[in-house]
Structure 1
Amino acid sequence: MTRLLCYMPTPGGLTGAPRRLLTLCQVLKHEGIDVCIASEPGSDLLAAAEAQGVETICLKLLEILRLRHGALFGGSLFFKLRAALALIMQNLAFARLIRKSDADVVWLRGSKGIAFAVLGAWLARRPVVWDVDGSWHSRGVIKRIYGLGLQISRVVVHQYESAGEQIFGQKAAEKFNYKSYTLVPGIELNRLESLKKRKRGQDGNQNPEQPFQILEVGSICERKNQRLMIEAIAELKRIGVNRRILFQVAGGVFEEDYAKRLIEDIKKTGLQENVEPLGWRDDIHSLMSKADLLVLPSLDEGVPNAVQEAMYIGLPVMVSNAGGMPEIVEHGKTGWVLSVDDSRLWAQQIADCIRNEEKCRSVGETASMYADKHFSTDVWGKRYAEVVRQAAGQL
């Protein structure tokens, strides 16, 4: 049996990426892959994995490597030397962990997985499956990290067809195309079935006196682009949409400065009664079942869990044209795909949803049928297991 060690160094809460890893581990176990997750001691990810019967192992991250927003690669020459030494030490610790776990294959995610662990996997002489996910675009130090990941990894997994070119650039994507695979992630449809039925029961009973509820899921940060929605809601008032709007933002603060600017925008536009910051929530699916529209105006994305789950539930989705979202949402049929830099266009499309609720519901129903057909974990799990076995040299 192939043994796979999955490493996620800084999982944070149980947001999209950790939840997706947990789902992946379950489907790989079903396909006969022996899975172990390595992460920070005491993390929510390890606790959830243990609750699901997935083997876990702890690997503490050196303090300097916890820095966010590219700060790890900035600063003085002395700081850069400290950071480089910490990366070497972290990789050596990971190499020892690999040998201890007796893994046949190593799974890494994103740029951090490569920076913190790919040399360790190389030193331990274990093949690497690199799940690129929604990684940063290739430039500066990140470009060098990606180059290392592309060279060492035996298999590179993308969530959508154009990911390689978008993230690595055309030249690198073509060079390493022979080891690249596109696997659109699956979601646990059975877990959402009851909410799907609840959503259908509510859709025909909207009260025009109630607010039109718009939900955005994701950390408060520039990448998630919540400020565009404030501009769009302010525009809705200017063009004479009388229905009250309630914009719910579910997600913790990831960038303090961006959160402050967001609050300033809300006050400046007088939308305090229209915006409800919910903070970190573990009842996202319940929020989806009560909402009228899910929005995700992100500047950069892979294939977000929230969009896939909303589509299956039957909640209409309005997304930006970033990353893999245009590959799973068909504009005007299973949702709406809009430019990330035109808040007026977003306002006009939201206004159309409010004025044509039957059409909006129909789009949600069509999306639900599409999700039922394309987002199952069965196909995803089988194909991913084949990729892992190929990396292990068993195919």
Structure 2
Amino acid sequence: MSITILHTESSPGWGGQENRILNECIGLKKLGAKVFILCQPESGLARKAQDAGIEVFTHPMRKSYDIKSIYYTARLICKLNINVVNTHSGKDTYIAGFAGKLSKKHPLIVRTRHLALPITSTFSYKYLSDIIVTVSEYVRNYLISRGIKPEKVFTVPTGIDIERFNPDKVEASLREELGLSKSTPLIGTVAVLRKKKGHHILLEAIPEVLREIPEAIFVFVGDGPQRKNIEEKIKQYGLSKKVIMLGHRNDIPQILNSIDLFVLPTLQEALGTSFLEAMAIGKPVIGSDVDGVREVIDHGVNGYLVPPDNHHLLASAIIKILKNQELAYQMGQEGRKKVENKYTLKHMCENMLNLYLEKINKNL
């Protein structure tokens, strides 16, 4: 059967959540679905989706019980003959959830939970959503522990564009840009500069790494509220020549293909898309033994899991991989294999479409 899907997003910013929404829409459209997005005016998602050829509707979503937004969304559901409404954030889940329940179309209401953060209320999950999709088993188990029925919650991990992160097709251009030789050990991390991402832990580990491997260089990719604090710590630890802040970059595949090792000692992570991107391009990875990261990193196979907030063990893991090129290569190969087998955009979009169709047919 043909299927028409409306994705809603009340967050005006741009990040991993919005990137997944866009990739889902593009992939579902390729699979034959009609796909629309409803989001805030002037949102990052609106601009990028329009550029990608997805039809976008915008309307202010000021609060969860925004009567005008609920009425607008209900009319849009009928006008577009929507079969599935997939919500993604708090406000739009209430708005689109109520709109769907009030609409004569009675579409399937799907709530995607992208984050590992605790939820403050279960109301929208229990009463406004027909099913819930989580990006990892960790998030699924958490929702079940909060009283959501297990048969209502499904895991569909975020997928990676394995062609965009194909090591055989991506230029490794960062070393030349930085004036580094091929033999210089280069360690990278890609993440928004927030406290929970653990950049401060990595900074504490770097002096220990440099005592063993003094020629090593670290690059931090990303921007965010912790930038000033991180820059101050770099100066405080005397690492200005060893840690390079690259800021926001659009050439992530090229950067990842240039490094020897990806490290992110995050303290909270629903899944860890940045690990998957590094794995897809064939790099070994090191992450904290928390949340959904455990599902991505197989300890000793495609990388290492270290206890959270332990810079000594983090430094030891970095040194171990940098000193064993054969181990690093094998871990990189295993990482690429895991992404190909489970975490591709194709897997994600096909699994989402099959889930939609299964639930719609069951309700017919």
Give the TM-score normalised by the residue count of structure 2: 0.87
Which residue is 2:97 aligned to?
118
Which residue is 1:8 aligned to?
9
Structure 1 residues 333 and 130: alpha-carbon distance in aligned structure 2, compared to 1, 3 A threshold: same
Instruction: Specify the SS of the correspondent of 1:162.
Output: helix
Instruction: Specify the SS of the correspondent of 1:294.
Output: strand
Structure 1 residues 388 and 356: alpha-carbon distance in aligned structure 2, compared to 1, 3 A threshold: same
Which residue is 1:20 aligned to?
20
Residue identity matched to 1:29: K
Which residue is 2:88 aligned to?
109
Which residue is 2:212 aligned to?
241
Alpha-carbon distance in structure 2 between the residues aligned to 1:262 and 1:52: 35
Which residue is 1:315 aligned to?
283
Counterpart mapping for 1:165-244 below 5 A: 165-166=141-142, 168=143, 170-172=145-147, 175-193=148-166, 195=168, 210-237=183-210, 240-244=211-215
Aligned-residue offset at 1:212:
2.2
Aligned-residue offset at 1:287:
0.7
Residue identity matched to 2:255: L
- Note the alpha carbon deviations across 1:113-171, whole angstroms, 9 max, x for none: 43554334333343311111124113xxx2x1x332232211111222232233x3625
Counterpart check, 1:130 vs 2:111:
yes
1:228·1:297 contact (CA, 8 Å) conserved in 2?
Answer: yes
Aligned-residue offset at 1:364:
0.7
Q: Which runs of 5+ in 2 are unaligned?
A: none
Counterpart mapping for 1:192-341 below 5 A: 192-193=165-166, 195=168, 210-237=183-210, 240-253=211-224, 255=225, 258-341=226-309
Instruction: Specify the SS of the correspondent of 1:192.
Output: coil
Which residue is 1:161 aligned to?
137
Q: Which runs of 5+ in 1 are unaligned?
A: 66-83
1:23·1:187 contact (CA, 8 Å) conserved in 2?
Answer: no
Residue identity matched to 1:43: S
Counterpart mapping for 1:357-368 below 5 A: 357-368=325-336
Counterpart mapping for 1:80-99 below 5 A: 87=66, 90-99=69-78
Alpha-carbon distance in structure 2 between the residues aligned to 1:244 and 1:116: 54
Find runs of 4+ consecutive structure 1 residues off by over 6 angstroms: none
- Note the alpha carbon deviations across 1:292-351, whole angstroms, 9 max, x for none: 111222222122332212111101111122222211210110111122221111111111
Aligned-residue offset at 1:283:
0.9
Counterpart mapping for 1:38-77 below 5 A: 38-62=38-62
Aligned-residue offset at 1:393:
4.3
2:272·2:296 contact (CA, 8 Å) conserved in 1?
Answer: no
Aligned-residue offset at 1:100:
4.3
Aligned-residue offset at 1:191:
2.6
Alpha-carbon distance in structure 2 between the residues aligned to 1:234 and 1:120: 55
Instruction: Specify the SS of the correspondent of 2:163.
Output: helix
Greater helix percent: which structure?
Answer: 1
Instruction: Specify the SS of the correspondent of 1:358.
Output: helix
Overall identity of the aligned pairs, in %: 25
- Note the alpha carbon deviations across 1:198-251, whole angstroms, 9 max, x for none: 56xx9xxxx8885422221121112212111111113324xx223333222222
